[in-house]
Amino acid sequence: MKSLVLVAAATCAVVCTAQDSFESPEFNVTQAVLQQGVDISALPTLAGLKERSPWSACAAACNSLKLIPSFEVYAKNTTNYTTFTNEYWATQQGDVNPECIIKPSTPKQVSIAVLISRLTRCPFAVKGGGHAAFAGSSSIEGGITIALEKLNKIEVATDKKSVLVGPGRRWLEFYNELEKHGLAVVGGRVTDVGVPGLTLGGGVTYPDLYWSLRGGGNNFGIVTAFQLHTFPMNKMWGGGKLVANSDFEKALDATYKFGATGAASDEKGSQIISFGYAEGFGPLASAFLTYAEPVTSLPAMFEDWANVSLIQDTTGAHTLSELVSLLSDGVPDRERQTYWDVTFKLDRSLFSFLVNTFYELLPNIIDAKNLLPTISIQLITIPQLQQMQKNGGNAFGISPADGPLFIMNMGTVWTNPADDERILKFNNDIIMRVQAEAAKKGLNNDYIYMNYASGYQAVVSSYGTANQKRLQSTSSWFDPTGVFRKLQPGYFKLDGSAPFGEYS
Ligand SMILES: Cc1cc2nc3c(=O)[nH]c(=O)nc-3n(C[C@H](O)[C@H](O)[C@H](O)COP(=O)(O)OP(=O)(O)OC[C@H]3O[C@@H](n4cnc5c(N)ncnc54)[C@H](O)[C@@H]3O)c2cc1C
Ligand SMILES: *[C@@H]1O[C@H](CO)[C@@H](O)[C@H](O)[C@H]1NC(C)=O
Ligand SMILES: *[C@@H]1O[C@H](CO)[C@@H](O)[C@H](O)[C@H]1NC(C)=O
Ligand SMILES: *[C@@H]1O[C@H](CO)[C@@H](O)[C@H](O)[C@H]1NC(C)=O
Ligand SMILES: *[C@@H]1O[C@H](CO)[C@@H](O)[C@H](O)[C@H]1NC(C)=O
């Protein structure tokens, strides 16, 4: 990410660096709403707010937003509202009922919505692609859900070296548009994941803010445009390899070799391998390999994959949009979902241990309806860690000296809420066992990747105390009253506590 346009708590009226914070203590929210051209006297529901409870505050906020010309507001029990909540990727998010849903079509409307939330003290949530896996991440019970889908511009710079993208975009449509210009960006693997949530979980003119947003999630404002570096791209090598049951260990060998030596000096390769189980199929293993050059045969860094027996192989030269479509095929949505992840130093025996632990504990949940559990190994190679340090780095607290690393990422799909408890426990149990094994060999790394984390995991404190403090001080400068931490309670907050508390 090169830079971004942010709607912060306020707009900076004077030279920001001359102040103690981005917003002065005298900041007058009513005045700011008026300055945005909203006639408060035409919003009778805002009168007498002080006496209202938080719930009627949200009724007042939503009724006010409805009265502002050209605001698109969906009220409870309308078809548009229900259609919207049904479209979340995880049903746990769709089950949350906001007081209203708004779809701002300009950054100014986003500002007004935040100011009305501040005025009424009605809490809000922000939705990009809506792919976060737990309730309240991009939805809010009784509050205002601000959906960004109408902020969807894609503007390639005239020098073709960067692109400005609105937070309403998802990766496939974005890649498709860039391909018309022979370009690509570094982005997500799955077609309908949103650009904003993914980018803020992983990576302006203000260096602290830029650093903080790469890992800081939703704590600093609402990003209304991202400027991403582009690079020329027509086709690249990559695809999926579905591994025969007999060759799971060989696939792990090839994966290890890639991480340990294959990719030691070339940042163009990446690999993730997932093990799962599906009724009627039994144990499954599938790897996704990419190399960002248009070669047509297996790149040397993946050479041991030549020894692995496969059931299906789609690797070859593809466009980026073809690749993400290949990978997304069969990913279920509108079901119950949970994601969990932790990080370890690369170690071959730990690979087998985690896969074996997964299959050993699987009987605890195997009869859950429509069950689709997976455990993945996603490599973070040393060249990738080096790339992350560019442009001031990010908030993750991992460096090339820690590498190579891998993320153990688990995701489960199921249907019945009655199975929630044992499925959460299954995921948590695997983490506990694998971390205990890793501890014996000194292989644990604290880092938790926000984009794959469950609401029971403390993400921001996993970046280390110094980085957590830097994030907090960025926040006190940009958002001294804590609008984006307190009025927007969902997802991972800067104090490092898990949204749902410790899992026990
Ligand atoms: C099938 C699947 C595949 C995935 N593949 C990948 C992958 O390849 N790589 C990867 O890194 N991750 C991947 N993820 C994880 C993904 O990055 C996260 O789920 C991410 O949060 C999704 O972003 P979103 O915009 O769709 O989600 P949302 O639920 O809309 O947003 C997530 C969080 O970001 C906040 N947010 C959204 N937009 C803004 C904004 N404009 N300003 C401020 N805050 C905002 C929201 O408030 C919310 O808290 C995958 C997830 C799924 C379900
Ligand atoms: C804030 O601005 C409004 C509108 O201009 C004004 O009526 C009010 O007195 C101001 N509040 C404070 C505390 O200055
Ligand atoms: C929405 O409809 C349900 C039943 O269809 C009803 O119980 C509920 O009170 C309604 N809510 C509102 C806000 O009208
Ligand atoms: C509901 O959605 C439709 C289609 O997007 C739109 O035309 C209509 O104006 C919406 N209704 C409201 C009340 O916003
Ligand atoms: C893969 O096969 C090649 C020869 O085909 C062999 O040299 C190499 O050792 C094999 N690697 C593994 C991990 O079996």
The token duo for 196 is 């904003």
* Ligand 2 atom, smallest distance to 28 CA: 1
Q: Read off the DSSP letter of residue 258.
A: I
Q: What are phi and psi of 277, to 5 degrees?
A: -150, 135
CA of 121 to the centre of ligand 2 (A): 17
Confidence bin at 17 (pLDDT 50/70/90): very low
Would strands 100-102 and 144-147 be described as parallel, antiparallel, or unpaired?
parallel
Query: Rounded to the nearest whole angstrom, what is the distance from the C-alpha of residue 77 to the centroid of ligand 3?
Result: 6
* More reliable by pLDDT, 21 or 119: 119
In this prediction, residue 15 carries a pLDDT of 39
Give residue 198 CA to ligand 1 midpoint distance, Å: 4
Which pLDDT score is estimated for 491?
Answer: 97
The model's confidence at residue 42, banded by pLDDT at 50, 70 and 90, is confident
Q: Is residue 46 over pLDDT 70? A: yes
Reply yes or no on whether the pLDDT at 71 is more than 90: yes
Predicted local confidence at residue 21, as pLDDT: 82
pLDDT of residue 5: 60
Q: For ligand 3, which residues put their CB under 6 angstroms from it?
A: 76-77
Q: Which of 40-54, 196-210, 250-264 has the lowest mean pLDDT?
A: 40-54
In the predicted structure, residue 207 carries a pLDDT above the cut 80: no
Give the separation between CA 409 and CA 452, rounded to whole angstroms: 7
The protein residue with its alpha carbon nearest to ligand 1, atom 17, reads 198
Q: Which numbered ligand comes closest to the C-alpha of 262?
A: 5
Q: 108-139 pLDDT, tens per residue?
A: 999 999 999 999 999 999 999 999 999 999 99
Three-state SS for 95-128 is CCCCCEEECCCCHHHHHHHHHHHHHHCCCEEEEC
In contact, 304 and 383? CB cutoff 8 Å? no
Is 80 exceeded by the pLDDT of residue 340? yes
* Pocket lining: 304 vs ligand 5, CB cutoff 6 Å: yes
Res 321: pLDDT: 96
Q: How far apart are the CA of 287 and the centre of ligand 5, in A?
A: 19
The answer, yes or no, to whether residue 3 has pLDDT greater than 80, is no
Q: From the CB of 327, is ligand 1 less than 6 Å away?
A: no
- What's the pLDDT band for 317 if we cut at 50, 70, 90? very high
Kindly state the average pLDDT of the residues 388-417: 94
Cα dihedral angle (48, 52, 55, 59), rounded to 10 degrees?
-20
Percent of the chain with pLDDT over 70: 94
Q: If you average pLDDT over residues 51-67, what whole number do you get?
A: 83
> Ligand 2 centroid vs 223 CA: distance in angstroms?
28
pLDDT value of position 49: 66
Distances (CA, A) of 121 to 51, 113, 335: 12, 12, 32
* H-state helical runs in 180-247: 195-202, 207-216
* pLDDT band at 432; cut points 50, 70, 90: very high
- b/e sequence 165-187, b meaning 16+ C-beta within 10 Å: bbbbbbbbbbbbbbbeeebbbeb
Is the CB of 202 within 6 Å of ligand 1? yes
Q: Which of 200, 290, 450 to mutate to test the pocket of ligand 1 (most atoms within 8 A of CB)?
A: 200
| Mean pLDDT score across all residues of the chain | 92
Cα separation, 438 vs 353, whole angstroms: 10
Residues touching ligand 2 (Cβ under 6 Å) are: 28, 30-31, 34
| Token reading at 155 | 């503007």
Asked if residue 204 has pLDDT above 60, the reply is no
- Of all protein residues, the one whose alpha carbon is nearest to atom 3 of ligand 3 is 77
At residue 339, what are phi and psi to the nearest 5 degrees?
-120, 140
Judged by its nearest atom, the ligand closest to the C-alpha of residue 38 is: 2
Tell which wins on pLDDT, 471 or 211: 471
Q: Tell me the pLDDT band of 54, cut-offs 50, 70 and 90.
A: low
456-473 CB burial, b ≥16 within 10 A, e <16: bbbbbbbbbeebbebbbe
Q: What is the pLDDT of residues 30-40, one digit of tens each?
A: 999 999 999 88
Residue 335, ligand 5, Cβ within 6 A: no
Per-residue pLDDT tens over the stretch 161-191: 999 999 999 999 999 999 999 999 989 988 9
Could you identify the atom of ligand 3 that is nearest to the CA of residue 75?
A: 13
